[in-house]
Chain A
Amino acid sequence: MKTFQQLKAEIEEQVAASTVKPDQDVLDVFKYSISKGGAGYPQDNQIFTTWFYGAPDCGYVTDWCYFLVELARDESYSMEELCKMARFWFVQPSHFGEYCGLYKQYYFTKEIDKILDTLTREEFVQLLSAFRAYIANVNVWVFQYMPWGVGYAFMRKDGKYFEEALSLCN
């Protein structure tokens, strides 16, 4: 089991490595369309559903961490309660992210889970903040590689568009 200092340093190292250079997991899944954990394979062997569901679930882990750190400011929550909420809130989406091929973030989740009950309030805040920063970087690269240009095939439509279309149906 890692100490708080060791784990925080390891996460921060990964934050530094993924700030201006792509996160390897995101490269694999989003740029190269590789299904590492099998996600999308049963759904006709495509990666789009993994992008649509897996990436945002992982991205929202940043918000779960944000909420937990905000609630940690409130001393009426015991550390036991905060640890329980952390386990309720971000372990599942992080695990799903792993199925979608985002391995590193789930590795950190498992390591956080192992030492969660030993943390002081301040350490809880520091560790989740560091983890949030890493997930935020993952999210950056997800948005970088998501093929947003596909949206040009699905442009917003208005009444005029449909009126014209209707006139061509006659």
Chain B
Amino acid sequence: MLRFKMNWPQLGLAVRCESCGKNEAALKLLMENMPLQTVQGHEMVGGWMIRNRSIYMGKRFFDIPPQDMETESMKDAPVGRISLLFPQGNSTEMLIKYDECEDFRSYVPVANVVAEDLDTLKQVGKLQWKSATRTKEVVIVEFVVED
């Protein structure tokens, strides 16, 4: 089972993530680029999802053609789903659903936050929303492979 961790040092919070059984080749490529850091953002239209608008894959070029990857909408995905948007070359976007959303756009699902950590994920989501709409405090997220 492919596993990694998302860690938000400023918030003192972390969640464990594992493959969702879809697009494992894409997840593998993403994980080959870890450890990774980026700014934690939030979705502003489609609902309660945190969003990383730039994940830089500098170690391993992402070269899986889009037609070879399964897609799904976040509306239909379970809470905790981690999906990619336009993964290609050096970069991808990532969305993580932490509560309800109506977003019917297509994304590439790769992983889930484990069930025991969903409350923590929701906490991160609410804190990031506060940052996006009020405090503007920069929140960094780290991605680390787990053995």
* Contacts from A to B (Cβ < 8 Å): 12, 15-16, 19-20, 22, 62-63, 66, 69-70, 73, 125-126, 128-130, 132-133, 136-137, 139-141, 143-145, 148-149, 151-152
Complex Cα spacing A20 to B39, Å: 6
Complex Cα spacing A140 to B53, Å: 6
Question: What are the residues of chain B within 8 A of A12 when measuring CB–CB?
Answer: 58
Question: What are the residues of chain B within 8 A of A73 when measuring CB–CB?
Answer: 65
Question: What are the residues of chain A within 8 A of B88 when measuring CB–CB?
Answer: 66, 69-70, 129, 132
Stretch of B22-30, B89-97, B110-118 that contacts chain A: B89-97
> What DSSP secondary structure best describes chain A's contact surface?
helix
Can you list 15 A-B pairs with a CB-CB distance of less than 8 A? A19-B56, A20-B37, A20-B38, A62-B91, A70-B66, A128-B89, A130-B89, A130-B90, A132-B88, A132-B90, A132-B91, A140-B54, A141-B39, A144-B136, A145-B136
Complex Cα spacing A69 to B63, Å: 10
Complex Cα spacing A4 to B41, Å: 32
Complex Cα spacing A129 to B136, Å: 29
Question: What are the residues of chain B within 8 A of A69 when measuring CB–CB?
Answer: 88-89
Question: What are the residues of chain A within 8 A of B86 when measuring CB–CB?
Answer: 62-63, 66
Least CB distance from A22 to B in Å reads: 8
Complex Cα spacing A81 to B86, Å: 23
- Which one of A125, A129, A140 lies within 8 Å of B38 (CB-CB)? A140
